Amino acid sequence: MAIDSGYTDDLRLAHLLADDADSVTMARFRAEDLKVDSKPDMTPVTDADTATEEAIRRTLKRARPRDAVHGEEMEDTGWGPRRWVIDPIDGTKNYVRGVPVWASLICLMVEDEPVVGVVSAPALGRRWWAAKGDGAHAGKSLMSPKPIHVSGVTELSDASLSYSEIAEWVDAGQGQEFVDLMRQCWRSRAYGDFWSYMLVAEGAVDIAAEPELALHDMAACSVIVSEAGGRFTDIDGNDGPHGEGAYVTNGLLHDAVLAQLRP
């Protein structure tokens, strides 16, 4: 498999970090003694979340001691142009309830641009990854890649839309606009979280959107969608994972989605 030589080692390391994450998350998934607390924003955090981020950070400290790290559950460390962005368990609410739709998200950003991303969903038996300039792939490991690409759907009436929760759009003051978009699309389903964006990257879904997200929710997904030929913007149409939320499409439908949902 041809890989951009500038990020070959970083992509391999990202897969090793995902292996670390998988070993921790799967060992605690559906554990009867799983410890669940509430963060200040009232979202859940488990002992698996913190243990997974700690495992990833330990490996990074050995392998990339000069790189900065930003994670969901722990304080930022380091500084400089290279920064790893980690969401140890995206979909913690699913994880807590025993629903297998959750993943560890790992991204390397250079000068704030996502250049390597890995999304690992071990309970689904799936992993997706991308390195800048090399396209996007899916498979069980780096040694078994399958190239993935977004769909060629050009009309909203033929499009499949994935989202997380309608309540989020109501809270954002865009409930009616989002429902109108749903009605314009051929099909809508709440696959939610990382999976929505990976389905766009694979061409199984054409549109995914959430009005409020953090960098750790979006960074890894953004490079995979972009390398698969799609477009990943914030709610104002700015490319990349730096805004309030994410509007993600196969690219061909992006202007139509922005016209419907732009605040």
Tens of pLDDT, residues 83-121: 999 999 999 999 999 999 999 999 999 999 999 999 999
Binding-site residues for Mg(2+) sit at: 72, 87, 89-90, 217
Confidence of residue 142 (pLDDT cuts 50, 70, 90): confident
Binding-site residues sit at: 72, 87, 89-90, 217
Q: How much is the pLDDT for 212? A: 93
Q: 20 vs 142, which has greater pLDDT?
A: 20
Confidence of residue 44 (pLDDT cuts 50, 70, 90): confident
Confidence of residue 3 (pLDDT cuts 50, 70, 90): very low
- Beta bridge partners of residue 162, listed in sequence order: 189, 208
Q: pTM of the full predicted structure?
A: 0.94
Q: What is the DSSP letter of 108?
A: E
Strands 36-38 vs 68-71: parallel, antiparallel or unpaired = unpaired
Q: 178 vs 142, which has greater pLDDT?
A: 178
Q: Does the pLDDT at position 5 exceed 60?
A: no
Residue showing tokens 């390391």: 13
Give yes or no for a contact between 205 and 161, defined as CB atoms under 8 angstroms apart.
Answer: yes
Other CB atoms within 10 A of residue 55 CB: 19
Q: Which helix (H) or strand (E) holds 193?
A: helix 193-202
Residue showing tokens 């025993």: 98
